[in-house]
Amino acid sequence: MAKNSIQPWANGTGSNRMTDAAYQRWDKSHGFEKGTASSEEANTLWATNSLVASAFGQFAADGSGTDVTTDMGRDQLVDAFKAALTQFINMGTGVPGSVVPVGSPIPWPKDEAPKGWLLMEGQSTDGFPVLKQLYGDRLPDMRGQFIRGCEQGRAVLSTQDDQIKAHEHDKGSLSTSEAGGHTPSGKTAPAGEHFHNYDRQTSERTEDGGGFDDGYKKRVFNEPAETSVEPAHEHELVMEAVDPHIHPVTGNTGSFGGNETRPRNIAFNYIVRAA
């Protein structure tokens, strides 16, 4: 573990320094008066500043892995602090307690991902070892997808197709309104001028042998015939009267809805911290 050599001044028990209450009452706006600074006042001032410097140095050493010493240059200390801050906000190693772990999907209101992030469009995780460890060979394609909390018995990162929960609709008592007693009636459609074909029965004489007064036989048979031509007309239809009644309605309702099941929503892109 990297060390931090910047230690707080006069931080031990019983140190020669002012109490916090006395320090708060002390007028610090003009600094020490010439020739009047006491060791207690000086120790308190150095202790306050060195405490902040020590905490800063410890953060830089722990997060960067670089030793923070009293003889390092300012630029070195700044670099160590930047590295520690990067580590803290998890730009690469997934430190517990960091702001956003690598691999976390985040809604993003732009079509381009910011630096260090990737749009989640099913692309390869090659070159991103942490993402490969979390997601496998490819990122999920989050376009048109919702995230759902993983319930017991379901695998993390498993997918589901859209679905409507099985249910029934009560048939109720749907029917037509009561029509009352009535006699259905109406007319046929006009047929226009026309005639009807039919077969008529007729007879004729054959050879001698009786049947007619003159002694000839009679032969009876059917022959095609036509009625006389009737002008265009229609036929009246009158049915037997019926009592008041209703008619039941059967069958299915018509199709309703679109091509998918979805809640009300707003579109964002999902991005993931890449490294």
Alpha-carbon span 205 to 225, nearest angstrom = 20
Ramachandran bin of 257, using left for φ above 0, alpha for ψ from -120 to 50, beta for the remaining angles: left
pLDDT tens for residues 78-131?
999 888 887 776 554 444 445 678 898 999 999 999 888 999 999 999 999 999
Average pLDDT, integer, range 29-53: 86
**Could you give phi then psi for residue 108, rounded to 5 degrees?**
-140, 130
Hunting for tokens 């006699």 — which residue is that? 183
pLDDT (0 to 100) of residue 128 = 93
Q: Which span out of 119-123, 183-187, 198-202, 221-225 was modeled with the highest average pLDDT? A: 119-123
Tell me the two tokens of residue 130: 């942490």
Averaged confidence pLDDT in the chain: 81
pLDDT tens for residues 121-168?
999 999 999 999 999 999 999 999 999 999 999 999 999 988 888 888
Classify 45 as helix, strand or coil: helix
Residues of the chain above pLDDT 90, percent: 26
**Could you give phi then psi for residue 58, rounded to 5 degrees?**
-65, -40
Query: With a threshold of 0.85, does the pTM exceed it?
Result: no
DSSP class of residue 82 equals H
Hunting for tokens 């319930």 — which residue is that? 151
Does residue 208 surpass a pLDDT of 90?
no
Amino acid identity, position 124: S
**Which domains are delineated in the chain?**
20-88 (no CATH), 97-158+259-275 (3.90.1340.10)
pLDDT tens for residues 234-260?
777 777 777 777 777 776 666 778 888
How far is C-alpha 149 from the chain's CA centre? 13
Average pLDDT, integer, range 3-15: 88
Q: Are 63 and 88 in contact (CB under 8 A)?
A: yes
pLDDT (0 to 100) of residue 173 = 64
